[in-house]
Amino acid sequence: MLNLNLDMKLSINQLKYLKSLRERKYRQKYHNFIVEGVKLANETLISNALDVEMVVATSEWLSQNANLLKAVDNIVPVTESELKKISLLSTPNQVFLVAKQPNQLFEKNKISPKLSLYLDDIRDPGNLGTILRIADWFGIPWVFCSPGSVEVFNPKVVQSSMGAFLRVKYMEIEFEDLLARLPETPVYGTVLDGSSIFSEQLLCPAIIAIGNESNGLSSEIQLKLTHRISIPRGQGGGAESLNAGVAAGIVCSMFTNKVMS
């Protein structure tokens, strides 16, 4: 049983701090981020993948999940109306976590035998969350992002990743720096004038580069590609382009089918 002070409330300073984590500059300052909602909170606590600094939750949720909170020192019981003051969710919520951002170590021996994704200036949080889920589904351990991309600890990315942020490693890195760490690794990039992925020889290990939602891969990255690939439009298809997450899913599926099965 948890010994909770049910009269305890969020202080003004705590409220200000929790709201500040909505912004990237404060997530970077404190090296923390938000995990919201019953499913993600439970998965985070069960996984033990992250250090959880603070749990703010309804008394009902806390009593039902006391076994998950043994390693958490800072627990604040609140009412649903109080939780709404800090929540970013539109639907009723019961729990709000503050977790430490993990320090991801670049381990070449765990990357080389695998596929890795490089995201060039991906700006939409939903796209990044989807791509993390895709990497998680196909067992791709690393997703690298350009410094201009949305960060994985954005609350919308965390929500849309559906827990993939707990399993897929993430690093912000310049493309040239990544190539210097993984020399001689084939680099596949999705471009409109590339060879059809359905007929292209696919190699593994490899880096798969996915471009910005509007502009695709930058010209600098395109110069570094060893393989230019595309997803051919079907007969009668009229869409100008594919969503970055959809494109990543198709490409990862093809690689998995051809070289990882």
Domain locations in the chain as residue ranges: 12-100, 108-259
| pLDDT(1) > 50 | no
Q: How many CA atoms lie within 13 A of 240 on its CB side?
A: 4
State yes or no: pLDDT of 215 exceeds 50: yes
Among candidate residues 237, 239, 247, 254, the one with its CA nearest the CA of residue 213: 247
Mean pLDDT for 215-242 is 87
Q: What does the block give as tokens for 8?
A: 């305890």
Sign of CA dihedral 116, 120, 121, 122: negative
Number of CB atoms found within 10 A of residue 188's CB: 24
> pLDDT tens-digit profile of 6-53?
545 788 899 999 999 999 999 999 999 999 999 999 999 999 999 999
Residue 55 — φ and ψ, nearest 5°?
-125, 125
Decide if 168 contacts 115 (C-beta within 8 A). Answer: no
Residue 93's pLDDT is what?
A: 86
Q: Determine which of 2-6, 72-76, 233-237 has the lowest per-residue pLDDT on average.
A: 2-6
Lowest mean pLDDT among 85-89, 96-100, 107-111: 107-111
Amino acid residing at 252? C
At 26, list the tokens: 């404060």
Q: What are the Cα distances from residue 2, in Å, to 37, 57, 60, 94, 222? A: 20, 13, 12, 17, 56
Domain 12-100 of CATH type 3.30.1440.10: no
- Comparing 203 with 225, the larger pLDDT belongs to 225
- Gap between the Cα atoms of 190 and 228, Å rounded: 6
For residue 2, pLDDT beyond 70: no
CATH class as words, domain 108-259: alpha beta
pTM: 0.90
Q: Say which DSSP state 59 is in.
A: H
Tokens for 208, please give them: 């798969």
Number of CB atoms found within 10 A of residue 18's CB: 20
More confident residue, 27 or 238: 27
| Residue 220 binned pLDDT confidence (cut-offs 50, 70, 90) | very high
